[in-house]
Homo-oligomer: A and B are copies of this chain.
């Protein structure tokens, strides 16, 4: 049932699967409502299961049937979507990723994992960015979802507010721009990454102070080709962080 976005939003619940991820969630501040697991898992994790959690025993076949993944798991947890208030002031002196309509859950999950790796605490998403509680996104984050705050905002309004009040420099990844490795970067600011096929929308592009590009060393003729967005995000985040070392 929670495989559908509408139901996830109405019920304010999402699903996480797999021993490693559920274990991390049990140790986190998130509120688990229900756990469906095989007997063996329940016995091993008995001490971690607080009284409030409803625990249902199931067979591996049952789990496979309700799973969103192809590989069977020993445990599936239903978790309350946490409510975090967005406070623009909190972005000051920090590096923040801004995603303009990322559509692929795998890319989004990988970007969240990257943000965690590079100590980026917040990701701001356009309203049309793929849902973070999509099971594929959750699995691709590998637990990083517990350490990175995700906010869905009207990007236009957000950038207007930034311009007036927060005044963080805005960097954007483009196919043509200044060489990432030679351009001036700052230890805090907003890094905008665009949609997989369309890139950064023109409306958002107007807010960008610095257009960066990852230089290519390829022999290919077609200059419209680009790196995968999660790869590009990895290279850009590492460049910002290595400068501050």
Contacts and interface: CB of A to CB of B under 8 A. Distances in A.
Contact of A147 (B220, B228, B234): B220
Q: Which residue, A142, A147, A228, has most C-beta atoms of chain B within 10 A?
A: A228
Contact of A143 (B119, B142, B225, B234): B225
A116 interface: yes
B241 A217 contact: yes
Copies of this chain, complex-wide, total 2
Q: Interface extent on A, as a size class?
A: 35 or more
Given A117-B216, A119-B217, A143 B222 contact: yes
Contacts of A206: none
Contact of A118 (B147, B217, B230): B217
24 contacts: A106-B106, A110-B231, A113-B228, A114-B227, A117-B227, A118-B216, A118-B217, A118-B218, A119-B219, A143-B220, A143-B225, A179-B245, A181-B238, A181-B242, A181-B245, A182-B245, A214-B238, A227-B234, A228-B230, A230-B231, A232-B234, A234-B235, A238-B239, A239-B242
Given A143-B220, A217-B241, 16 more contacts: A106-B106, A110-B228, A110-B231, A116-B218, A118-B218, A179-B245, A181-B245, A214-B238, A215-B241, A227-B234, A228-B230, A232-B234, A234-B234, A234-B235, A235-B235, A238-B238
Interface of A: 24, 106, 110, 113-114, 116-119, 142-144, 147, 179, 181-182, 214-220, 222, 225, 227-228, 230-232, 234-235, 238-239, 241-242, 245
